[in-house]
Structure 1
Amino acid sequence: GWHAPWPISLWDGANSGWFPLIWFVAKVWGFLFFFIWLRTTLPRLRYDQFMALGWKILIPVSLAWVMVVATVRALHNEG
């Protein structure tokens, strides 16, 4: 958004005049820098590698996590 970041927003004049435009442009540039940096540093994966990750790792981990949460909640409800 166009609002100043938290520590700077405590100053009364941080969101008046040209500052909202400056904050917006700075945030967009920061997001673009982070996105491009992340895109260029991470390895590119093929579709079959993503599918293997999902079927072999993410689905079993999520099922195990659901079981852990259900067990903890059941034990918490029972006392």
Structure 2
Amino acid sequence: MGFDEVHKMDITGDGVDETVGVRRNDDGSVEYHVDVDGDGVADMLATDKDGDGVIDSVLLDHDGDGKFDAAAVDADGDGNLDAMVEK
């Protein structure tokens, strides 16, 4: 399953562009797969559940092992990620 778009942009704010693969799903949701460390594997998966341009949840792989170990969500729908759980 490929991406609809691939972009290079500085997501982390460190001055280095990350690769962002964008997948637009049939249900209207949009996924942003971000490779932070340049190894070709997404370290961050941000999801916009309703396609309104606002991220609703983010999965993170802090240690780069290819498995997501933290999740952040917009629990109250105000557009800000406000709840985080780490494994």
Normalising by the smaller structure, the TM-score range is under 0.3
Relative to its length, the structure with more strand (as a share) is 2
TM-score, normalization by structure 2: 0.19
Query: Which of 1 and 2 has greater Rg?
Result: 1
Greater relative CO (CA pairs within 8 A, separation 6+): 1
